[in-house]
Amino acid sequence: MDRKYFQICLLAIVFVGTIIVIIVCFEAKYGIREKVVESPFWQTSVVYQVYPRSFYDGQPDETGDITGITSKVDYLLELGVGAVWLSPVYTSPMKDFGYDVANFTEIDPIFGSMADFDDLVTTLHRKGLKLVMDFVPNHSSDQHEWFQRSVRCEDPYTDFYIWANSSGVDANGTQIPPNNWLSVFRGSAWEWNDERQQFYFHQFLPEQPDLNYRNHLVREEMKRVLTMWLDRHVDGFRIHALKFLFEIEDLSQNEPVATHSGVQDPDDYDYLNHTYTVDQPETLTVVREWRQLLNQYPDRVMMVEVYNDDIDAVMKYYGNETVPLADFPFNFFLIDNLQSRGDLTGESLRYTIDLWLDNMPEGKWPNWVTGNHDNGRVASRLGRDLVDALNMLTLLLPGTPVTYYGEELGMENTFISWDETKDPEGCRWGPDLYQEHSRDPERTPMQWDNCTNAGFTTANSTWLPVNPNYKVLNVKAQTQAETSHLKIYKELAVLRRADTFSKGHIAFPVVTKEIFSFLRYLEGSEKYLLVINTSEEELEVNLHRHANLPLPSSAVVVLRSVTDTSEKTHPGSEVPLDKVPLVGGEGLLLNLQAED
């Protein structure tokens, strides 16, 4: 080869190489800066709650476990969710199914080992999914070593829990508690301990003594717990029963009787007005400490569980621009305000959605919850016909949807006989009343296929009975069907990544008793209209007649509920907006094309 030609080639290669190096360096320096402004994962992901006892029994013994979840990661990936929130897997005597933790830094053998846990985290991360742990700070199990040592007054554990002297003995020689405070699960919140000769306080079961957050050593220990999991690469925490963290310091104060509750039974939790035992201002100080701890790690989430009818009390947990606290407190209003079909109208949906959006502090991020391990299944609470509409609603509203396992299939409450009842809250109410209180019906095994035990386990039985409808209602059947709740859910999970949904605005063009609708739009992007028929009747709606903003004359169907089989609303067909046919409970997603 010509020597000169060779030199030119070499020069050209060096030149191109240099350019590439410059580009790579530039990308490394400024590309990272660009990533900082990317949305955090918890804003772009659907959060999917896995109740580990009931998801999949990988090591078959009737109860689901961590290897079971790991073996189903591909299912989660195909479903399109971005983060798994794992209900507690910590060492526990299971008096409250894991919400009574005996060791906050250890995995209970029923769920597997720490190696299994690490494997789950690695597998999820490899597939681009996140893992959020349940953190249960208010109380430990009475089997926790701290409590055992506190009973024996061994320092520094003596004041790790809330201890108080008896205020005397009654005629029968029974110790009288220091005040009238009640447990959420009925009766006095004080339990006498013979060994220490004092009462200890428990907001929940006697086997769940409350930790004493007025003791800074407790706060330090719990921060060590968080750090340990963060160092194990978990992507954040869902914080359990947060409003119960602090009680007032003066234990001689009785709580006042609730004036308007209508409750006559003095052992019922709702008999008292809990002014001294929930939502104390000190709780926010501790949440602030946890926030600061999480901020030392990149892209971690803090979601908090605060049940309260008072929206302002809930919003406080967001903090504000200067003092950020949780990324979000769970929005339970879609559950609380819509307890049964009778509560559901276009107007009540609008009210409930506005309640959150209008009260949320500036710059914060909304979230939408329709079910969890403490509330009945959507299909049973509101109606089977509404399953798709509610998934459309939560996945397409601005904010983060939180889906309880099985809701993508429209799983239903399972009847559980008194003999089979496991939930302590159900058990405490006795055979006549347990059905109103037990949370077992919504905790039954995930329905994978139509094999024995719904394909949940190869063991002979399951810890809670499988819903008998599993033969037709299961993942396999819904994957094979032409249309199904599962298929709609998957399409929604993809669709919501579009700019219109992730960044767009919202408007509510038509809201009547029967009809709820919202519009999602963004300049330069597709415009979508979700229309929901909240009634049980088939309707033909003239959207123009009720619209509070201009709508085009027709729109194209993107998705519809499985219950709608009409030719007119087949996906891809054009529907005139003055004649929109909807079956009862239907959700219809339309693409509004620009008017010519």
Q: Per-residue x/- marks for ligand NAG, 164-203, CB under 6 A?
A: -x----xxx-x---------x-------------------
Kindly tell me the sign of the dihedral angle through the C-alpha atoms of 255, 260, 262, 264: positive
Amino acid in position 581: P
Measured from the CB atom, the residue of 367 and 569 that comes closer to ligand NAG is 367
Residue 170 binds which one of Ca ion, ligand NAG, none, with CB within 5 to 8 A depending on kind?
ligand NAG
Q: Which residues bind Ca ion (CB under 5 A)?
A: 57, 59, 61, 63, 65, 138, 210, 244
Query: Per residue, what are the HEC states of 155-201?
Result: CCCCCCECEECCCCECCCCCECCCCCCECCCCCECEEEECCCCEEEE
**Which of residues 272 and 582 has its CB atom nearest to ligand NAG in the complex?**
272
Q: Which two tokens stand for residue 299?
A: 């892209």
The encoded tokens of residue 207 equal 């086997």
| Residue 254 found at the interface with ligand NAG (CB under 6 A) | no
What tokens appear for 12 in the block? 């050209």
Which residue in 118, 119, 336, 374 binds ligand NAG (CB under 6 A)? 374
Q: Within positions 206 to 235, which residues make up the interface with ligand NAG, using CB under 6 A?
A: 208
427 near ligand NAG (CB under 6 A): no
**Contact of residue 103 among ligand NAG, Ca ion, none (CB under 5-8 Å per partner type):** ligand NAG
Length of the chain, in residues = 596
CA distance 96 to 92: 9
Q: Which of residues 79-138 bind ligand NAG (CB under 6 A)?
A: 96, 99, 103, 105-106
Cα distances (Å, whole numbers) of residue 175 to 31, 163, 169, 269: 67, 14, 4, 21
Residue 145 is a binding residue for ligand NAG (CB under 6 A): yes
Name the nearest CA neighbour of 518 among 366, 528, 555, 386.
Answer: 528
> Which DSSP string do the residues of 517-563 spell out, in sequence order?
EEEEE-TTS-EEEEEEE-SSS-EEE-HHHH-SS---SEEEEEEE-TT
Build a one-symbol-per-residue string for 310-349: x at contacts with ligand NAG by CB under 6 A, - elsewhere.
----------x-xx--------------------------
- Does 359 contact ligand NAG by CB under 6 A? no
Q: Binding of ligand NAG at residue 258 (CB under 6 A)?
A: yes
Contacts of 587 (CB under 8 A, 6+ apart): 386, 388, 389, 390, 391, 392, 393, 530, 531, 532, 559, 560, 561
Q: Which does 65 bind (CB under 5 to 8 A by kind): ligand NAG, Ca ion, none?
A: Ca ion
222 contact partners, CB below 8 Å, separation of at least 6: 104, 137, 211
Q: Which of 75, 192, 307, 521 binds ligand NAG (CB under 6 A)?
A: 307
Nearest approach, Cβ of residue 412 and ligand NAG (Å): 20
Contact residues toward ligand NAG (CB under 6 A) are 96, 99, 103, 105-106, 145, 165, 170-172, 174, 184, 204, 208, 241, 258-261, 273, 275, 307, 320, 322-323, 374
